[in-house]
Amino acid sequence: MYALRVMRTRAVKGTYDVLPERQSSWHLLRDTAERVLGRAGVEELTTPVIEHAELFERSVGASADLVVQKEMYRFEDRGGRTLALRPEFTAGVLRSFVEHGMHTRPTPVKLWSLGPAFRAENVQRGRYRQFHQLNCEYLGLPGPLIDAEAIAALHDLLVELGLPELRVALGSVGDAADRDAYNAYLREALDGVRDELSPTSQERLRLNPMRILDAKDENDRRLIADLDRPLDRLGPDARAHLDGVAEHLSAWEVPFDLAPEIVRGLDYYRRTAFEVHAVGIGAQSALAGGGRYDGLVASLGGPETPAIGWALGVERVFDALAQADAVPDAPAGPDLFLVPMDDDAVREAATLARTLRRELHVRHAYQVRAPGKGLRDADRAGARFAALRGGRERSAGVWTLKNLASGEQTELAADRLVDAARKDGSR
């Protein structure tokens, strides 16, 4: 690979280019989202990458890693505004929902979005600084039915993408009072061993004890092993809600496990919290996560609107597709590759390509080519047919059309090329 001398011309660590041969995964994702979500009445919403930083700070919560660990790309612009590159979609979607009075639309309002998100993370496999989310929100309904619909749609989407081995982990962080009570329980239970916890967990114990359950540190894990999980201490309403979600999912044969340990990295969740993991892909196996966030729309200045949603990490899904050997094929090569063998034919190839491109994917060599070299170019481009003209084989207006798979050759006038190249089933 060509080594660039000037470091600044390399991509920022934790970001990447999507090369042409990798675009098919993106097309697959967008097409599948449009189909699976579109059929379920979920409409596409596009929101900006930049928003006022305050929007995220108010919505993700003061104890979220994004804020505590300063993972947000936050900056002041020339007008003195404090802006941020979105670290997630939910806040921006809700801002748009409130700003455009979408609560007056028929309930539930279902919205999906696809695009980049930014977090100043410690980069590792599956954890990038610019990554992409497919995000989906269901606004306006409080009951467990819509939670189950949201989770089922996520599951169906991943299966349609080609990922059969999934684990849907369903939990609940309880109502606000349950969360407070559980956090108080953890504070008390861990008070005596506070100093033995890792610095991260000590900070979490101070800000949002529940998040200690996400600790990676071995010693932390040992210290919390025997403690109650959020599910063990749910209030009756949150418990009934969770049972309702589970009942619908079972009835619809969406496989899931109850996951007592689920806590989420953003503070806005209430009741239902869930993650979807790809079975057997290691550390960053969370392909998607989400939950219910009643109260958040109102806290952003909108009407009281119960809601649930999820976001899927696109790069992680692509990684899982690669591991499952389910990466879609690279885009198809040209239908026809024109090989001019003298100067007249060079001009004619360009003009002919312009006409044929109304119907076919056509490429051509831009200078005179010997037949062998021209056929190699056509082959490398992945063409189905090559058409050669000029040089010693010149006969006015006639092209030699070669089927590159069968080797079969015919002489044709230019105006017959479209039909002939289409004949073997044009793509």
264-283 positions binding ligand HAM, by CB under 6 A = 265-266
DSSP reduced 3-state for 121: coil
Phi, psi of 198 (to 5 degrees): -65, 155
How far apart, in whole angstroms, are the C-alpha atoms of residue 176 and residue 44? 31
Among 33, 67, 163, 288, binds ligand HAM (CB under 6 A): 288
Q: Please identify, using beta-carbon distances, which residue of 24 and 130 lies nearer to ligand HAM.
A: 130
318 Cβ neighbours under 8 A, 6+ residues apart: 25, 29, 327
Distance of CA 417 to the CA centre of its chain: 41
Phi, psi of 132 (to 5 degrees): -130, 145
| Cβ neighbourhood burial of 402 (10 Å; 0-12, 13-18, 19+) | buried
Among 131, 182, 318, 385, binds ligand HAM (CB under 6 A): 131
The reply on whether position 120 binds ligand HAM by CB under 6 A is: no
Dihedral sign of CA atoms 338, 341, 347, 352 in order: negative
The reply on whether position 369 binds ligand HAM by CB under 6 A is: no
How far apart, in whole angstroms, are the C-alpha atoms of residue 132 and residue 49? 11
The reply on whether position 315 binds ligand HAM by CB under 6 A is: yes
- Kindly state the smallest distance separating residue 18's Cβ from ligand HAM, in Å: 14
The reply on whether position 138 binds ligand HAM by CB under 6 A is: no
Q: How many CA atoms lie within 13 A of 105 on its CB side?
A: 14
- Kindly state the smallest distance separating residue 139's Cβ from ligand HAM, in Å: 10
**Residue whose CB is nearest to ligand HAM in the complex, by number:** 313
Distance of CA 427 to the CA centre of its chain: 27
- Kindly state the smallest distance separating residue 275's Cβ from ligand HAM, in Å: 7
The reply on whether position 313 binds ligand HAM by CB under 6 A is: yes
The reply on whether position 205 binds ligand HAM by CB under 6 A is: no
Q: Please identify, using beta-carbon distances, which residue of 119 and 271 lies nearer to ligand HAM.
A: 119
350-358, long-range: CB within 8 Å, 24+ apart, which pairs? 352/414, 352/417, 356/417, 356/418, 356/421
Q: Please identify, using beta-carbon distances, which residue of 284 and 403 lies nearer to ligand HAM.
A: 284
- Kindly state the smallest distance separating residue 245's Cβ from ligand HAM, in Å: 15
Among 74, 119, 270, 271, binds ligand HAM (CB under 6 A): 119
Residues 13-52, mask of contacts with ligand HAM (x by CB under 6 A): ----------------------------------------
Among 148, 151, 213, 311, binds ligand HAM (CB under 6 A): 311
Among 102, 16, 88, 44, which Cα is nearest to 307's? 102
Among 342, 350, 411, 337, which Cα is nearest to 379's? 337
The reply on whether position 56 binds ligand HAM by CB under 6 A is: no
Size of the site for ligand HAM (CB under 6 A): 27
Among 144, 167, 141, 171, which Cα is nearest to 154's? 167
Q: Which residues pair with 139 in a beta bridge?
A: 109, 307
Among 286, 330, 381, 412, binds ligand HAM (CB under 6 A): 286
Among 127, 167, 239, 357, binds ligand HAM (CB under 6 A): 127
Distance of CA 39 to the CA centre of its chain: 19
- Asked if residue 108 has a cis previous peptide bond (ω within 30° of 0), the answer is yes
82-101 positions binding ligand HAM, by CB under 6 A = 88-90
Six-digit token string for 293:
């966030």
Given the rule CB under 6 A, which of 187-195, 308-316, 354-362, 388-396 is the region that contacts ligand HAM? 308-316
Q: Which residues are at the interface with ligand HAM (CB under 6 A)?
A: 88-90, 119, 121, 126-128, 131, 133, 135, 137, 265-266, 286-291, 293, 309-311, 313, 315-316
